[in-house]
A = this chain, B = another copy of it.
Amino acid sequence: MTRGEARRPRMAAGPEFDRIRAMTAAARAPDNSRVRLGPGDDAAVLELRTGELLVVSCDMSVEDVHFRRAWLTWEEIGWRSVAAALSDLAAMGAAPAGALLSVALAPELGSEVAEALSAGAGDCLRAFACPLVGGDLARSPGPAVIDVSVLGTTPEPISRAGAAPGDELWLTGRLGGAAVAASSWARGLEPDPRARVAFVRPVPRLEEVAWLRDRLPIRAAIDLSDGLAGDARHMAVASDVRLRLDADSIPLHDTLEEFKDRGVALRVALTGGEDYELLIAVAPGDRSGFEREFESRFGLPLTRIGAVEPGSDVWLRNSDGSEGPLSVGGFDHFAGPPP
C-alpha cells in the first residue's frame, strides 16, 4: 500500500471525481429548491420547512483502500471514520446534530469487532457531543466498509466558494503527520508515535471553527483531507481565485521539522492527506496577538500561510521571493529537489 492509497480519493479532478459528479447528477431530483448547496462542497446544505439549515455529509471508508487492519485497531478505525465525517461539518462551520453509522463486516469477525469499532466511533461522537441517531450492520463477504453520515446545523454555512482577492489564508495545526505515519507503514516500519497519533486519531476542528467564526470574518473554509495542495486547489476552483501559499510559513508536523531537507518535508506536508486541519480565507484586518490567543486556547498553532489573489490555480511563493504554480503532482516551482 503506497501512501497515495491510504488517502481519501482525490476529488479535484480525474476519473474518481468524474464518477461522483456523474453519480450525483444522475441521482439528482428535478426539484432541488430546498438544496441550498449541492454535493460538491465539503457538505450539502438543505433548507428544512421551518427555514432551519441542515448541513449533511457522508464519508465511506473501505478496508485496504482507506485503512489497513494491520496498522490500526478497530477502535482507531471507528474514531477515524467518524472524525473524517465530522471534519466536513467543521469545514462548513456547522455544529454536529447527529450521526448515522453503517458497517459491513465479514461474518467470521465476532461481535467484539463490531463493539470495538463502535466504541471508537462512540469516543469520537461523545468528544464532540454528537448523538448517534441511526445504525445499520451488514455482513459482507469482502472488506470491512464503514459509512458515516453526519448532520449539522448552522444559521450560516461556510462554503469553499467564498474566497475573494485580498483575503488572508489561515491554517489550523501542523501538516504532514498522517502522511509520515502512512509512509512508515508502507515501508514496513512502525511509525514515530507522534506521527501515528496524527493518523489514527485526527481531530475534527469543530471547536476551533466555532471560536474562529465568532471572531473573524471567514469567507471560505475547507478541511484538508486530500492534502493542502489538492484542497487549496478545490477552494481556488470553487472561488474562482488564485491561492498563494508562502512556503516558509507552512507549519510542519514535529516529525517533519526533524527532516534534514526542508524541501522534502514541505512536499510531504503539501501533498500528504488526512490531516483534517482547516484552511480558511478571512477578510483582511488587524490580527495582532490573535494567533497567540488561539494557540493558548487550543494548544495548536493558527498560522497565516498566504493570501487570495486574482487569477486561478494554487501558487507557491519561495523564501527567495520566486513563485509559480503548484500543479498537483508537478511541483515545478518547488523549493528543493524531489525526495
Interface residues of A (CB under 8 A from B): 9, 15-16, 18-20, 22-32, 34-35, 38-39, 43-44, 46, 48-52, 54, 56-62, 64-66, 78, 97-98, 100-104, 111, 114-115, 117-119, 121-122, 125-126, 129-143, 145, 147, 149, 151, 153
Of A97, A125, A138, most B-chain CB atoms within 10 Å: A138
B49 touches A135 (CB 8 A): no
Residue of B49, B115, B140 touching A26 (CB-CB under 8 A) = B115
Q: Which residue of B lies closest to A95 (CB)?
A: B49
Given A23-B101, A28-B122, 15 extra CB contacts under 8 A? A22-B114, A23-B115, A23-B117, A27-B135, A28-B125, A28-B131, A29-B126, A29-B129, A29-B130, A34-B97, A52-B52, A54-B151, A59-B136, A60-B145, A65-B138
16 A-B pairs whose Cβ atoms sit less than 8 Å apart in the complex = A20-B135, A20-B136, A29-B122, A31-B131, A39-B133, A50-B50, A54-B151, A56-B100, A58-B136, A61-B138, A62-B138, A62-B140, A62-B141, A65-B140, A102-B149, A142-B142
Which residues from chain B contact A44 at a C-beta distance below 8 Å? 98, 133-134
Which residues from chain B contact A101 at a C-beta distance below 8 Å? 23-24, 27, 58
Residue of B26, B51, B60, B135 touching A104 (CB-CB under 8 A) = B60
B129 touches A140 (CB 8 A): no
Of A59, A132, A151, most B-chain CB atoms within 10 Å: A132
Q: How far is the CA of A101 from the CA of B39 in the complex (A)?
A: 11
A57 touches B134 (CB 8 A): yes
With A35-B131, A133-B38 in contact, do A27 and B147 touch (Cβ < 8 Å)?
no
Q: Which residue of B lies closest to A140 (CB)?
A: B62
Which residues from chain B contact A145 at a C-beta distance below 8 Å? 60, 62, 104, 138, 140, 142, 145, 147
Distance (Å) between the CB of A81 and the closest chain B CB? Answer: 11
Q: How far is the CA of A57 from the CA of B9 in the complex (A)?
A: 26
With A62-B140, A100-B56 in contact, do A115 and B22 touch (Cβ < 8 Å)?
yes
B139 touches A23 (CB 8 A): no
A98 touches B140 (CB 8 A): no
Residue of B20, B61, B65, B134 touching A58 (CB-CB under 8 A) = B134
Q: How far is the CA of A38 from the CA of B135 in the complex (A)?
A: 10
Which residues from chain B contact A139 at a C-beta distance below 8 Å? 9, 16, 62, 65
Residue of B15, B28, B142 touching A143 (CB-CB under 8 A) = B142
Which residues from chain B contact A57 at a C-beta distance below 8 Å? 100, 134
List 5 A-B pairs, minimum CB-CB distance, nearest first.
Answer: A142-B142, A27-B122, A26-B118, A44-B133, A149-B149
Which residues from chain B contact A136 at a C-beta distance below 8 Å? 20, 58-60, 147
Q: How far is the CA of A138 from the CA of B65 in the complex (A)?
A: 8
B27 touches A119 (CB 8 A): yes
Q: Which residue of B lies closest to A29 (CB)?
A: B131
Distance (Å) between the CB of A20 and the closest chain B CB? Answer: 5
Q: How far is the CA of A59 from the CA of B98 in the complex (A)?
A: 16
